[in-house]
Structure 1
Amino acid sequence: MLKSFDEKYPIAKNKQFYTQMFSWVVTVGKLFKKVLEESFMSADDSKATVRLFKIGKDSFVMAHELLQSMKNKNMDVSEFEEEVLQMSNLATFNFREVAQKVKIGDMRNIEFIRLNSKVSTTAIPIPAPDGTYCVPATDALYDLISDMIVAKKVLQRIDRDTFEHIQQFFKSMEHIFPVNGGDFFISLDDVEVIKAKWEKTYEDHLKSSAPVKHIRKVRKGGFTEDDLDKELDYLNLYNSFPEMKREVEWAYKIVTKDRTSALKLEDMHSAVFQCQLTILLMKLPNLFKFLHSQKMCMKWAPYLGCVLCETSTRPTLKKLLNKPSTTKEEIKELMEMTTVSAVPQPPKEDDVIVEEKDQDVSSDVLPKKKRSRKTKKSEEPHRSTSESSSSPESEMPESSKESQSCPKCSRASHFADVANEKLRVSKVECKHLKKELANAELEVEVQKQKGMDKDERIRYLEELLKSKNDIIERQNMDLLVKQDTIMNLEMEVESNYNINQENSIIIKNRGKSLAEKDNRIRYLEAQQASKVRIMEPIRSDEETEKVRDVLFKLLEIQGTLRSGNPVGKCRELAQRICMKAHNKEIEDTTRIEAIKFCEKAKIYIQAVNTQLEMIRGSRLVNSEEIPELPEFPALSKGFLKTYKDIFKSEAPKICQSLLKAPAVKPGELADTDCLICIEEMESEEGTIKCECCKRRYHTECAQEWFKTKRTCPACSSALLDDSEFPTLGQRW
């Protein structure tokens, strides 16, 4: 191929041309490679591929395609298979429903291929799950409305009475475009039915042989809002739809939004189409509801806010949906509002072009100076007089006419050549701009896709973290159970150790008693042999009774310790508090107090056992020689309060009989119960004392008692409340 090019266009003479050509070829090759890598990446055969359609922020998949793809990869579809089989062939699930129905493990093995849905003037068929083809429902509807407005120009032909045929047509199509939404896709068979029904309606009721006006050319500087208003009036759209005048301002704002260059003819076409589309949606509220259900309500008419979405502050359809049809008086008022004068029948298109060419050529010949409005106005009547005077010249010979028209034809042809060249340049510029726009959109789409991949990765990591947290929580629960088991086993080992110690002590004591008996036997035998009577010292009866009382008391204490098991109970209470507290400080304090209690209890038990051995080992021991037992330990008020706050009940008493009763102060009675409420008084705080009988009562109980009597409930002596009657000389 290069040889053939070299023969016709030698490389040596056209180096710059070939350099540019090769650079363009390399650039296009790189772009194709980039598109192939990003858009047509080879899918992983081990994963199920499902198309993910996007409309704005919403994403959805075809239900039957998802089911079939997962079945092909032997995934579990039992949870939603029956539901999908009962749905239509083109039914869809949104991505949230897919995440709820499909398991997390299966979601990792599904590759979603993203396809962005855009407003398209042509419905492009896409493969359906059953092997046929389908199109997006909104694309089919947009294609139908474009044919209605642009191709057949129905709104320019009909009047308000004929519009009911369009309403009846769309009402008959509500099974394909339902109000409550329906499927996002429709089959090609339904598209053919829609087209056939529309063609029949157009041929029977809407077709007319009357000529229809076309949109006129736009001047070089663009057009204004007033020009758009005049163009709609020129197209006879105000005759049947005078309310379209309200839409001019917003349609013009949409066209001029973010525009830096002058408006062109295609912008005028877009604005006129937007006005007609808005009026059509106003007249067909059910059609607008269908667009809302398809998530396209804000894309077709951006300035016409959606009442159902409630996201726009601009004019909405809220009033228009509930507004009755306009009366004839309102139509007359709207017609009077229009300031555009009636435009006469336009001349033929060729004449208009020739006149414009003449004006442009004449403007080029004249010096480039701005003419005042007065000169322009003076020229207009002059033209009219010249045209009127030229009318009787039709009787002149044809040769003279031809001689006058030849210069005009040459100027017109020159103008046409210049206009065609400008049109060609503008098309080239438009083509380059479209390419740049496509590249920019491709980059934006790539960034969006990367962002979505990151969002899915974050969601997957969050789910994984949640599952790991659940596993850790279960392991912590198992660890707590094992710690409880270990604690119980330690307590059991400790109790067994104590029992063994006690048994060993008993064995030692019995061994000693046996040795004493043996010694006694030998002593008696020796005494009998020598026949010498030896008098042993004997304790007095009173001293013996004291020692016996101490012995019985020690045995009673020993029995209480065995049955009460203070060490085991204290550890059990501490274990309960540690398992329920969930507070590091409380757990540490509880463990420390439990250790102290157990140590003191062991010291107390050892002292009891030592005194028992002392009494049993010697008969000559006196009561004064027996040391006093240490004070039996008691749980602190903080420990008991913590237990009560956690378990909502009082802590069990540990060997309550071994605790020493608090000493009674002088001038106080030993009773601890309030005679009014018959409840125990834990301390003297919050109590009131009778000076006569020395009894105490709760302050709150006494205040209730004072409402009826001012005497002591026990001795009936006078009793006053210190808060009501303070003692003399007391400072507050």
Structure 2
Amino acid sequence: MTKYLEINEDAYTPMHFAQKVFSYILKEFPTQQISFDFPEKVKGNEEEIVRMLCDELADTFRMYGSPREIVENVKKFTNFPENWRHLGLEEDTYQTNPMIYRSLKNEKYLCKSDLFPILQNMVFGGMNEFINVMAIFLKSQEPSDCMEFVRFDEKVLEEIAAELSAESWQKQVNISPMELFQEMSNLSLEEYFEKTEKMIGGEWNPKKSLRVQMDFRKMRMLSPEVPILFVMTTTYHMQRSGIEPLRRIIKKHPEWFLPYSETGINNIPTVRLLEDGDQRFVLKAELSNAIGVRLDSEDDGNLLFTVGLEEVLRKYGTKKIEVNTFIRYPIVRTKHRGVPIKGATPSKEFFILAVDAFFEFFRSLTIGLKMFQNTDFSRFSLAFHELEKYFKPNCKTPYFIRTDSIDSMKKIVEMFRGEAKGEKSVRNAKPDGFTIQDLKNELKHLELVETFPEIEEHAEVIYEHVNKVKNERYLRTCDLFDAIEYCQLICILNRLPNLKMFLHNQNGCGRVIGYKCERCEKKEIQKTSDVKNSTKNLKIENSNESVLNQYSQLALSVPEACEKCSESSKTLKETESELKISQDQEKKMHQKVTNTEKELSDLKKEHEIRLMSEAKKKEEFAEMKEELNSEKEKNQKKEEEILKASKENEELQKTILKLTAENETNERVIQKLLDRITNLSISNQKTDKINEKTIEESTATASITSKNAPPVIDCLICSNQIKSGEEIIRCPLCKRRFHSNCAFKWLKDHTQCPACNGDLPGI
């Protein structure tokens, strides 16, 4: 059953979501026609869409935070019944999930207006090509002045879904396709669109007409080779086949889809129990409809007044109104906007709490219109006096203001603005955040110190709070906007006593950062004084008890014969009886005070323990932080040593490569020298006649190739015989021969000849 309470993700459109985003931001911020392509799918890509909007309109979105924060706030702000009507999105599909509400007896209820997106969810899948037309039809059938509830009955919804599923779309049209084809053949394209709009019904505007034309053109593009007359006939036939079953379902279940006043059905009226924190109240207009007694005489076109739940139950109990008729309806607000609610039936308007309207209104003045930059504040005195018909100083119960009244209030103030002076914009915060001095510099840059000379005095408290509640590591531009807004708001409140009284009576003082309300402080002082006085009175009553006991004993000792004494005794007994009752009450009160003091004492101890625990945790955290910093420094030193060693190793590698290259070069030079020596030795053997004695004497310095008796010469390095034809090298000092490879290896580690131990500087 829950599948009908969730909008199909294919019904979401990017432009619809973008319009929701624009409805959230201040009207004074610039917007423009979107010139880029959004992702095809909206669900899961909301942040990407917002990021694209932020890139396109950077200045517009600076005060609203990251794309994730914007998406969260926009979804929250636009999630209420009939949001499409309030946001002007009548040409698109329903794109907000219906909500289930609960009564005080925990029974489930649906708002009647949420039944229409449920019907859209039921037909989705069989009529996807024409889902926009189906939605336009359903919105035309949705009553504009109805805020009523029905019990959530899964069985009835299943029956409706079965009816829509069982009916054949093609059989729902009374006219045959051939007759329809002949009818369409006589129509121009413009006349065809007029006929389609008439079939769908409801009031039409250019946006809705354009949507129908776009859907037709899509069908035309799917089969461009098909004659346009055939496309017209098929499209009209399919659209009507989808609309007619929906029309019959609505007619069959009027108690679900129409106001009770139009159905003739006797139904117990429901009343929204509006919940804002610990406050619970109802609209006087809705309560009047429920009990048949008019209580909303104060209401006008712009304001709706309320009455607390406790007062309702005390005055009317359950005789005129059942507890089950109270539908719990939470008041929701985002960081920058209050979520609207629909007025009581038969209202067509949307409202927000007066205190939420107050903050939205002054946010538009201070940030959007930049009203108070370098101006004379006194010029607005008369304007703010006029606003007291909206922001009522003496009203102590919550009440609502119509949403479009905020625009009317802004126009009143703008009349007293005077000539615009080229107001300056808030500059961007630095990547690593902004300081208290940066905030003060920004107040001067915006020339707010000219209008409010004391404004910098509020900067420190506001900066401390903004820094405490920031959502990211560093303070951002959106945090700077918040700080500047609250600095101005405190200065304005301190100049307008009636606005201060309004804010106090509507429980909004705590929402202004850094603001001190004298009435709230007096209230706290009075509470403390009342507790002290009650304790003091208990002590006085205890002291009087002993005096009364003495008089009681004296009366008992008087003889019974005296009538006056008897009467006095009787009077005294009655007094004693009253005193006893009073004492019992006093004891109970004393016990309550004792228990309260004990609870306060226990809470104080718990608070002290908690503070000690927090202090201890802070110390441990500081120690851990210090250890972490120490470890971080050690790691940093190690990293530096590793980096240094790495550099040294790199230099060493370079040196090794250089030496290796030089060694290879030296080896080639040595080999060439050996080759030359060998060639010279062979040449000498051929050209010179050396006797055997000379050969024997020069055994260590000459190459022996005698055919008769070649001498045997060993290499001292490897101890192997030097054979004829092997490459050799000899010591320039002692002329002893060695294998050239052995000599090269020897020279890598030694500088002396292995035979004569002489230094070999030339080798």
TM-score range, shorter chain: 0.3 to 0.5
Asked which structure has the greater CA Rg, the reply is 1
Taking structure 2 as the reference length, the TM-score comes to 0.33
Relative contact order, higher structure (CA 8 A, sep 6+) = 2
Taking structure 1 as the reference length, the TM-score comes to 0.34
